Amino acid sequence: MCVNNVSTIISEEKNQAALIVDDDKAILRAFSIILKRKGYATDTAETGKEALDKISFNNYDVALIDMRLPDIQGTDLVAKLPAKSIKMVKIILTGLLPLDTGNQTDCEVDAYLLKPIKPEDLISVIEMNLQRRGIKNSDSSQVLL
């Protein structure tokens, strides 16, 4: 029975990986479950330093980054990402209003999501940005933003 479960999980994989960066373990756990159910491989980091270490050794298609990490602002983390991460979709998660999206890293951030985030909204924003970046095959020829 375990073998069947493993083969089912493998067959549902999208071969896309997501890094979730947040200091809230409940958010890390919840987003990991949501993304795994949609076929994504997931990895987590609780600090900006841990995220940078993981990104230097692994390739991710998408990064969900909390705006306020213990050691760095999410937008500052995006600015420090290595060049190999240029195609990676970068989504900033924040619980603060108003969203200050006027800094220099905006061109590097693909989307901002306000917490709490509905699972369907999270998946929708990820999928739309993956399609826009050309990382994911799409049945539609045009993506509306």
Across 90-107, average pLDDT: 70
Q: Which residue has 């999928």 as its token pair?
A: 127
pTM of the full structure: 0.80
Q: Which domains does the chain have, with CATH numbers?
A: 12-133 (3.40.50.2300)
Amino acid letter, residue 141? S
Of the CA atoms within 13 Å of residue 85, those in its CB half-sphere come to: 26
Neighbouring residues of 128: CB distance < 8 A, sequence distance ≥ 6: 143, 145
pLDDT tens-digit series, residues 4-17: 333 333 334 568 99
Of the CA atoms within 13 Å of residue 34, those in its CB half-sphere come to: 19
